[in-house]
A = this chain, B = another copy of it.
Amino acid sequence: MPTNRQILLDNRPDGEATTSNFKLVTTDTPALQDGQVLVRHHYLSLDPYMRGRMNESKSYAQPQPLGEVMIGGTVGEVVESRHPKFKPGDQVVGMGGWQEYSVVDGNAPGLLRKVDTTHVPLSYYLGAVGMPGVTAWYGLTQIIAAKEGDTVVVSAATGAVGSAYAALAKARGCRAVGIAGGPAKCKYAVEELGFDACIDYREHPDVKTMAKALKEACPNGIDGYFENVGGYILDAVLLRTNAFARVAVCGMIAGYDGAPLPLQNPALILVNRLKIEGFIVSEHMELWPQALQELGTLVAQGKLKPRETIAQGIESAPEAFLGLLKGKNFGKQLVELI
C-alpha cells in the first residue's frame, strides 16, 4: 500500500492560529476491507470554516479532534476499490481531509461522489461547482432572494464564494458589488468576475470611509448582503441597507481568533426592517443538485471563470491556510497533491 502523508491538528490556537498548531506525519495506507475505496487526492480545499473547527468552543459543528487528520474537502481518483460502485480511474469528490490518500466507505451516502470533468475541471468541484459555489447560491437565492434590479453586495469578493456570487447575481439582473483587499483583486473582480463595482477595504479601513464608499458603489442602496467577514464592514453595510434588505451570514472570519467582534448598531435591524439569517450549506443538501447544475452551466458557458491559488504538496497546507485567513490567496485556495 502507498505511503500517506497527513497533517494532524496537534494543539489548539491560543488567539491567532500558527503553523505550530499542525503536525505532519507519514503513515501507510491500510489494506482495504470489503466495501472500501482508496482515493488518491489530487487537490485539497482550504476554507475559512476550518479555523472555527480548530477551537474547543461550542460551535455548530464538533471541534476538530486533536491528533487527527484535519477535516477538508478533496477531489481525486480512485486507485483501488472493493466497492462495486467505484472502479480505479473514477474521479471523485469527498471529504478526504488534509492528506494524500483516504480510505472511504463506499456505502456511506454522500461521502464520495463521482464527477464528470468533460466541461468542468476537476479542481472546480472544490470551488465554483462545489461547496463554496453552493454556499453563494444558497445565500443569494434562499436568504437574499435576489431579484432583478436589486443591489447585492458580497465581502471576500474574489474568493470561491464571491466569484460564484457575482455570476449568479448577474444572471438574475442584479447590480453586484464586491468588497476585496487591494487594487489587483478589485480590478480582477470587475474585469473578470463581472462585478459592477468593487471596493478595496484596505483603502477604507473604518466604518465611516467604508460606508461612504458603499454609498458611491450602491447609489440605490443595498438590498442584499452576503457576509463572509464580519466586523466593521458589516456595520458599514447595515448603514446603507434599504428597507427590507436581507443579510445572509455565512462566515465571520475576523472573529475566529476569539477577539470580540460586536455589531455596533443592531437598532438598524428595526429601523430598516432587516432580515439577518445565518446558514450552513451542508444542512441543505436537498438543494445541492439544483445549485450545482446552475453553477456547472455557468462554468461551461464561460460566465463563471474562477481563479485558483494553488500551493504545492501537503506540507504547504498549514502555511497556505494561514494565508487564506489573512486574505493572501487570490481566488479559491487549493493544495495540489500530485
A252 within 8 A of B: yes
Binds B, one of A32-40, A177-185, A195-203, A270-278: A270-278
Indicate if the CB atoms of A276 and B273 lie closer than 8 Å. Answer: no
Q: Does A168 touch B at the CB level, under 8 Å?
A: no
For A254, give the chain B residue with the smallest CB separation: B267
Chain A 241-280 interface residues, beta-carbon cutoff 8 Å to B: 243, 249-252, 255, 260-267, 269-280
Q: Main SS of the interface on chain A? A: loop
Which 6 pairs between the two chains have the least Cβ-Cβ distance? A262-B262, A263-B263, A270-B278, A269-B278, A263-B266, A275-B277
A/B interface sample: 20 pairs, CB < 8 A: A60-B271, A230-B266, A252-B267, A255-B267, A260-B265, A261-B265, A263-B263, A269-B276, A269-B278, A270-B278, A270-B279, A271-B278, A273-B277, A273-B279, A273-B283, A274-B276, A274-B277, A274-B278, A275-B276, A275-B278
For the A-B complex with A230-B267, A252-B270, A269-B276 known, give 8 more contacts whose Cβ atoms are closer than 8 Å: A250-B270, A262-B262, A263-B263, A273-B277, A273-B279, A273-B280, A273-B283, A275-B276
